[in-house]
């Protein structure tokens, strides 16, 4: 299924949503392809479960709405949810066009800051792969994982200026069996960050910088956080980062959480 009729700078929000619904309902393997070109894309939520393995191949550049007010408090621009055997591939880019949003970001000053959109959210994705795609200038985190299992990121490129606030490259939360390899991240916050119940995570051959480094945490900010364990950071290069590898904790709340089985090698 291809957007063959899509015109340069066209808005493909509805077309992508319709193509996803058709592909997700198809029996057997299916694929949605966004061809080369530049396209406008509004808020989209691409949900499963699907009836077979499904792939989205992005060869063009997808541009988010510039005005952060467009999202009206929604915390994700492109959301993939509850899919098994999913692949996101291609040489294309997800351009969050976050420059206007960064000027309005006051999260470093107040906990009650306005929610800004993450470029790509993966919620409850299993047995899946992301390869070769690019994420640019997200308004908030570039990629966020929640409740994912057995998920690999390979040769992904993430780029934002070093002074762009809260633009974590990949944030992992309550997920297990996550592998990130051969990936380049240059951003204004943590290149990779891991929240509570991040378990069995391998980060291998990642180049990070600028940014804040590769971080476990912050942990202990909220009550009832679940343990972090089995974190392996191997063969990574960090350049012009404010930190290297670290575990970040909050002192304010009593918590029974823990961080164990940490392995850092050849950094």
| Helix/strand/coil for 83 | strand
Compute mean pLDDT per 10 residues along the chain, 267 residues long, and list them. 62 95 95 95 97 97 96 94 98 97 75 83 98 98 98 98 96 98 98 97 98 93 90 98 93 75 97
Any bridge partners for residue 56, and if so which? Answer: 32, 88
Within 8 A by CB and 6+ apart from 212, the residues are 189, 190, 191, 241, 242, 243
Report the C-alpha gap between 223 and 215 in whole angstroms.
20
Q: Which of 142, 168, 190, 212 is catalytic?
A: 212
Read off the tokens for 81: 């949810």
189 has catalytic annotation: yes
Q: What is the pLDDT of residue 226?
A: 92
**What is the DSSP secondary structure assignment for residue 15, as one 8-state letter?**
H
CB 194 within 8 A of CB 224: no
Which of 168, 189, 190, 196 is labelled catalytic? 189
| Active-site residue, 212 included | yes
Residues 97-135 have pLDDT tens digits of 999 999 877 765 666 667 899 999 999 999 999 999 999
Q: Give tens-digit pLDDT for 2-32.
A: 444 567 789 999 999 999 999 999 999 999 9
């Amino acid at each position: 299924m291809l957007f063959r009729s899509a015109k340069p700078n066209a808005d493909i929000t509805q077309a992508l949503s319709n193509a996803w619904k058709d592909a997700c309902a198809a029996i057997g393997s299916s694929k949605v392809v966004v061809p080369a070109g530049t396209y406008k894309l509004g808020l989209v939520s691409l949900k499963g479960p699907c009836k077979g393995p499904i792939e989205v191949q992005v060869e063009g550049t997808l541009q988010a709405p510039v005005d952060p007010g467009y999202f009206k408090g929604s915390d994700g621009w492109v959301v993939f949810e509850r899919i098994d055997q999913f692949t996101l591939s291609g040489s294309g880019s997800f351009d969050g066009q976050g420059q206007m949003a960064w000027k309005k970001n006051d999260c470093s000053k107040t906990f009650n800051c306005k929610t800004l959109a993450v470029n790509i959210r993966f919620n409850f994705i299993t047995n899946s792969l992301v390869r070769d795609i690019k994420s640019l200038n997200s308004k908030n985190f570039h990629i966020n994982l929640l409740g994912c299992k057995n998920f690999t990121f390979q040769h992904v490129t993430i780029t934002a200026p070093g002074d762009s606030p809260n633009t974590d490259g990949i944030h992992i939360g309550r997920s297990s069996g996550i592998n990130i390899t051969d990936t380049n991240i240059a951003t204004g916050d943590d290149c990779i960050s891991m929240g509570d119940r991040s378990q069995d995570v391998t980060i291998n051959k990642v180049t990070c910088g600028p940014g804040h480094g590769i971080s476990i945490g912050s942990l202990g900010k909220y009550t009832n956080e679940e343990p972090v364990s089995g974190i392996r950071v191997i063969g990574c290069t960090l350049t012009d980062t404010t930190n290297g590898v670290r575990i970040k904790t909050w002192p304010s709340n009593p918590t029974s959480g823990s961080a164990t089985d940490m392995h850092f090698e050849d950094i």
